[in-house]
């Protein structure tokens, strides 16, 4: 006696596939996270800091991310100090993938990279694993300088865009 195969493969949307993955994954996440109201974006947030002495990482609460930031800073020849502290945030963002074999696409960004040196605070802006600009605040004079980084061939170009002075 023969049987007829009545099972059909049901095609699910990338959003449905992502939501199933999210439901299975959420219980394993340690730390801070947010989920968008439509459940199509998961953001895992990690805050960390590290200390650089004589140009080398001396102490870090997250070695892997500290090394990633140091690599990005070194790429633009920053910061111009050998002793400093870095405070940073990392966001890992997960969204549905349009590629059938994948459940999600992931993107990592560092929305906060703050360098604290002797008399200076530098806030770096990162995009796609490279430093794009920096706000440099002189703690003594209260001057703020905006610097943008770009490339001309293999050479890094630092453009001073604007100097601000705040008096109180």
Number of domains in the chain: 1
pTM of structure: 0.81
Domain span at residue 38? Answer: 14-23+31-125
Q: Is the pLDDT of residue 167 over 70?
A: no
Confidence of residue 123 (pLDDT cuts 50, 70, 90): very high
* Residue 145 belongs to some domain of the structure: no
* Residue 71 belongs to some domain of the structure: yes
pLDDT at 16: 95
* Residue 1 belongs to some domain of the structure: no
* Residue 139 belongs to some domain of the structure: no
Question: To 5 degrees, how large is the angle CA 32–CA 34–CA 36?
Answer: 175
The tens digit of pLDDT for each residue in 48-105 reads: 999 999 999 999 999 999 999 999 999 999 998 999 999 999 999 999 999 999 999 9
Q: How far is residue 21's CA from residue 146's CA, in Å, rounded to a whole number?
A: 42
Q: How far is residue 104's CA from residue 41's CA, in Å, rounded to a whole number?
A: 10
* Residue 168 belongs to some domain of the structure: no
What are the tokens at 152?
């001309």
Closest CA to 89 of 119, 45, 132: 45
Confidence of residue 148 (pLDDT cuts 50, 70, 90): very high
* Residue 94 belongs to some domain of the structure: yes
* Residue 152 belongs to some domain of the structure: no
Q: What is the mean pLDDT of the chain?
A: 91
Report CA-CA distances (Å) from 132 to 48, 82, 116, 146.
Answer: 21, 21, 18, 11
* Residue 74 belongs to some domain of the structure: yes
């Amino acid at each position: 006696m023969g049987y007829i195969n009545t099972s059909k493969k049901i095609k699910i949307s990338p959003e449905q596939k992502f939501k199933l993955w999210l439901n299975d994954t959420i219980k394993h996440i340690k730390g801070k996270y947010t989920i968008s109201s439509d459940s199509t974006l998961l953001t895992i947030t990690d805050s960390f800091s590290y200390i650089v002495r004589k140009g080398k990482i001396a102490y870090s609460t997250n070695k892997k991310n500290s090394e990633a930031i140091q690599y990005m800073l070194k790429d633009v020849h920053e910061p111009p100090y050998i002793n400093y502290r870095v405070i940073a945030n990392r966001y890992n963002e997960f969204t549905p993938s349009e590629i059938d074999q994948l459940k999600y696409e992931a993107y990592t960004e560092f929305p906060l990279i703050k360098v604290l040196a002797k008399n200076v605070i530098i806030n770096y802006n990162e995009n796609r694993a490279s430093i794009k600009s920096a706000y440099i605040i002189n703690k003594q004079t209260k001057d703020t300088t905006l610097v943008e980084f770009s490339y001309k061939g293999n050479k890094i170009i630092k453009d001073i865009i604007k100097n601000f002075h705040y008096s109180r």
